[in-house]
Amino acid sequence: MTDLDSFRSETRAWLEANCPPEMREPLRDDDDVVWGGRNATYKHPAQKSWLDAMASRGWTVPDWPAEYGGGGLSPGETKVLREEMARIAARNPLNSFGISMLGPALLKYGTEEQKLEHLPPIARGEIRWCQGYSEPNAGSDLAALATRADDAGDHFVINGQKVWTSYADKADWIFCLVRTDFTTKQGGISFLLFDMASPGVSTKPILLISGYSPFCETFFDDVRVPKKNLVGEINKGWDVAKYLLGHEREMISGMGLREGGGRTLGQAAADRLGTDDKGRLDAPVLRSEIALFEVRAQAFRAMSERFIDELKHGRAHPAQPSMMKYYGTELNKARHELAMSAGGSELLEWESEETSGGAPARAWLRTKANSIEGGTSEVQLNIVAKRILDLPSN
């Protein structure tokens, strides 16, 4: 038996013993997702015990070093853990921007002190982070951001506004791009961390077309931030920002892998619309659309495995997350379009009990943001064209 084989059998046994049955059920709604934080809410006690069990082994962040709260696993072991979790349909114990975005950036650019201060609370789900990048006039052109950080000796003073800040009203801390030099564009940006409870920070939720408001306008009015919270060098924040975006895009691309409640789109459609005498979905055009979609979805599954393997072994093209983000989010949007078609007029219901308050329609609308958040599809394609295909830019 190789080391990986024995790791697999130990992992399997541990998961079997520690993953509560409720945490092997498919996610039904947003409340089933655990985000952690100072004001964490748990819909079910099993969410908390599953989080604590995984965090105790560092398996909320299996490949981070153990000294920062991680599991210290090799790429091979991390993959085994992921496979074994998938085998029993275990839910992700903790979802967080700290894990998928800030963590990797701190591991690369943070000081030892910053890593020790911030990474373990992320791993344990104690601090919830939000992302302060976009501004009203700096979306796709992110480097046009104008929120300013003025040097005031041992601290900076922040003034300005962010927009579309997901969960800013629920987050404990923010990683924020600020302008420390107005004479150059990318070269005048710095990357700061601060507590959302600092005086001068305020948020205003914005309602989405799905009827929920998970994002906000975020305002900074003379917010004081200690200089020790600067990540990387002053005016070198753009490098950190871009590195983090790569990880964000990698995370978002995972949407391409989702399946509706563990059942395939085609099965769900057949359950609702019936089958013909040969057992085929009794809606021929929809059937071919779903079948063609499944070709891409299954192929993307392979692509995703390959991408992560390449990434963990340092072989992926640095711009490959852009391709993955583009493809995965377009797939997820297509999946929801098809699911709505298969649901017909019944899934158009917005408030009914049968639809759990319009969950499918709201989820469908929410996916439209997938190709906008984390950089639009157009921006990803521009990056692929420029950085991978090396096409001329004028």
Partner 1 sequence: MPLFLSEEQTMLRDAARDFVGEQAPVSHLRSLRDADDPTGFSRDLWRSFGEMGFNGILIPEDQGGLGLGAVAAGVVLEEVGRNLTPSPFLPTAIGAVTALNGGAAAHRERWFPAILSGEAVAALAIDEGPKHQPERTAMRAERSGNGFRLTGAKQFVAGGHVADLLIVAARTAGAPGEEDGITLFAVEKDAANLHADPRRLADSSLAARLRFDGVEVDADAVIGEVDGGAATLRRMLGHVRAGASSELLGVGGGAMDMTVSYLKERKQFGVRIGAFQALQHRAAHLYSEMEVARAATLKAQQMLDAGDAKADAAVSIAKAMTGMATTLAVQEGVQMHGGIGMTDEYDIGFYMKRARVLAEAFGDVGYHADRLAEGAGY
Q: Applying CB under 6 A, which residues contact ligand FAD?
A: 130-134, 139-140, 164-166, 215, 369, 372-376, 378-379, 382
Among 248, 250, 289, 330, the active-site one is 248
For residue 251, give the 3-state DSSP assignment. helix
Q: In terms of Cα–Cα distance, which of 118, 214, 219, 134 is closest to 169?
A: 214
Report the distance separating Cα 393 and Cα 386, nearest Å: 7
In the list 89, 116, 209, 299, the residue contacting partner 1 (rule: CB under 8 A) is 209
Spell 212-240 as b/e; 16+ CB within 10 A means b.
Answer: eebbbbbbbeebebeeebbbbebebbbbb
375 binds, among partner 1, ligand FAD, none (CB under 5 to 8 A by kind): ligand FAD
Q: For residue 62, give the amino acid letter.
A: P
- CA angle 306/311/132 to nearest 5° reads 120
For residue 266, give the 3-state DSSP assignment. helix
Q: Is 248 a catalytic residue?
A: yes
User: Hey, what are 350's tokens?
Assistant: 């917005």
289 binds, among ligand FAD, partner 1, none (CB under 5 to 8 A by kind): partner 1
Smallest separation, CB 117 to ligand FAD (Å):
22
283 binds, among ligand FAD, partner 1, none (CB under 5 to 8 A by kind): partner 1
Using rule CB under 8 A, residue 382 touches partner 1: yes
Cβ atoms of residues 339 and 267 within 8 Å: no
Say which residue the tokens 């963990």 belong to.
312
**Closer by beta carbon to partner 1, 28 or else 204:** 204
Q: Which stretch binds partner 1 (CB under 8 A): 51-59, 121-129, 134-142, 258-266?
A: 134-142
Using rule CB under 8 A, residue 76 touches partner 1: no
The residues carrying an active-site annotation are 248
List residues binding partner 1 (CB under 8 A): 134, 137, 139-141, 144, 163-164, 206-209, 211, 272-273, 283-286, 289, 340-341, 343-352, 358, 361, 365, 368-369, 371-373, 376-378, 381-382
